[in-house]
Structure 1
Amino acid sequence: MNILRASLAVLSLMFAAQPALAETAHDEQAWVNLTLMGSLKGKVVYFAEVQPRFGDGVSRLDQLLLRPAIGVKLSPTMTLYQGYARVITKREGARDLREHRSFQQLSWVMGKPWGGEISTRTRLEQRWRADGDDVGHRLREMVRLEVPVASNGLAALGYAEGFLALNDTDWGARSGFDQLRSFIGAEIPVVGKTTIELGYLNQLVNQTGGRRRMNHVLSFSLFARL
């Protein structure tokens, strides 16, 4: 459990690193995540995500993410991925903001407490944005727990994911605490290995000038496992 303690320590440091902030803007949002995942050959695996996110009181499309990745299973419980993300952020009265990301991800199922599953996801991102020349580096650490609550496979689900910016950029990233996402909800079996994850996501985002944003998100995710 040493890596679990390390993951929790990283999350604690990310949260503690945020400055004392003066004002918080709130928004109600809805995020949809459609993910296809499976095996290609032997230990080679993949996933592909489409994520539209609706903001401004769920009145308009705020962001669209397209994120494929290919990986290799290092063991039955550990998988290493290399992926790419295309992020399009809508801006009123201005051109869409476009971002490219390369990322490396280590996913690890750590154990099966209470008949469920505890896992971690460590992701290192390299970010290029259209409004600057610098490459932003960011570390993301997630700890996730799911516990079955019914015989049909229904499970209670919760996770926390901290984001830590590793450098300053000319397009606005500042090193230190970037954001924290906290989720509570349910994992619902559908057909075969396909599941739905439905619940509440709280996103706390650090901004410049002593400001922060808190998004209250209805989160719906469909995972189709082939």
Structure 2
Amino acid sequence: MRRFLACSLAVAVFPALAAPAAAETREDEQVWVNLTAMGPIAGDAVYFAEVQPRMGDGASRLDQLLLRGAIGLKLSPAVTLYQGYAHIVVPVDGGRDVNEERSFQQLGWFMGKPWGGELSSRTRLEQRWRSDGGDTGWRLREMLRYEKPLKPGTNTVNALVYAEGFLALNDTDWGARGGFDQLRSFVGVELGVKDATTVELGYLNQVIDQTRGRTRMNHVASVSLFFRH
């Protein structure tokens, strides 16, 4: 398992480290809010639904609004397979909003409890369509997440870190280019609120390859509420 974790992190991080040193980098301060509800439907069937407003330009305006939901099937206590759909709105100053539609397949895997914490993986394959083009973009995402109680024997406050690498699988007429797409890295805490409801607070760094030597780096204050029933 340790070898798998090391290899996966290397795959996610290496493209970002390999970017040209002279590349132009634009930076922004953002605030992302994530409201997610999840739980069982019947038997081994489960669901999740989320709303994510993301504020950009120094957190002064709406940069994206993401609506996403999925229905899944628990294949085992540790593995769940989902089929989902997402609608994303990207406001454009002085122009028509860009809309993106996504279908996705997701595999969630609880990998175990190494080093006194919990390690999990999320693999997501996306099919993307945008209103400013006609092509279908394919993208693969892999997240590794680790959380550990700060006070042994309780889950009231957990230290939380995760990394998620994005790989575009093809070029499109609306701007996607095959290869490394972006890397998200998070460090923060998970707080138990009531029953199974949790809040995650922390700093997220997002590095996006915009091609032609241009890179965008977003410094994000991330707030997520997960309501489980």
1:77–1:109 contact (8 Å) kept in structure 2 = yes
1:221 maps to which residue? 224
Q: What TM-score does the superposition give when structure 1 sets the normalisation length?
A: 0.95
User: What are the superposed Cα offsets for residues 76-103 of structure 1, whole Å, 9 maximum, x if unpaired?
Assistant: 0110000000000111111111000000
Matched, 1:177 2:180: yes
1:21 Cα deviation after fit = 5.4
- SS of the aligned residue for 1:75 comes to coil
User: What are the superposed Cα offsets for residues 138-164 of structure 1, whole Å, 9 maximum, x if unpaired?
Assistant: 000001100000246200000000000
Within 1, Cα distance between the matches of 2:125 and 2:7? Answer: 16
1:201 maps to which residue? 204
Structure 1: runs of 5 or more not aligned: none
1:16 Cα deviation after fit = 5.6
Q: Percent identity?
A: 67
1:65–1:85 contact (8 Å) kept in structure 2 = yes
1:4 Cα deviation after fit = 3.7
Structure 2: runs of 5 or more not aligned: none
Structure-2 change in CA distance of 1:205 and 1:83 (3 Å): same
1:37 maps to which residue? 38
- For 1:209, the aligned partner's letter is R
1:125 maps to which residue? 126
1:14–1:164 contact (8 Å) kept in structure 2 = no
- For 2:55, the aligned partner's letter is F
1:90 maps to which residue? 91
User: What are the superposed Cα offsets for residues 118-142 of structure 1, whole Å, 9 maximum, x if unpaired?
Assistant: 0010000000000101000000000
1:88–1:96 contact (8 Å) kept in structure 2 = yes
1:116 Cα deviation after fit = 1.9
1:20 Cα deviation after fit = 5.4
Q: Which shows bigger deviation, 23-32 or 152-161?
A: 152-161
1:102 maps to which residue? 103
1:1-226 to structure 2, matched below 5 A, reads 1=1, 3-5=4-6, 7-12=8-13, 14-15=15-16, 18=19, 22-150=23-151, 151=154, 153-226=156-229
- SS of the aligned residue for 2:8 comes to helix
Q: What TM-score does the superposition give when structure 2 sets the normalisation length?
A: 0.94
- SS of the aligned residue for 2:122 comes to strand
Alignment RMSD, CA only?
A: 1.5
- SS of the aligned residue for 1:10 comes to helix
- For 1:203, the aligned partner's letter is Q
- For 1:190, the aligned partner's letter is V
Within 1, Cα distance between the matches of 2:40 and 2:81? Answer: 13
- SS of the aligned residue for 2:75 comes to strand
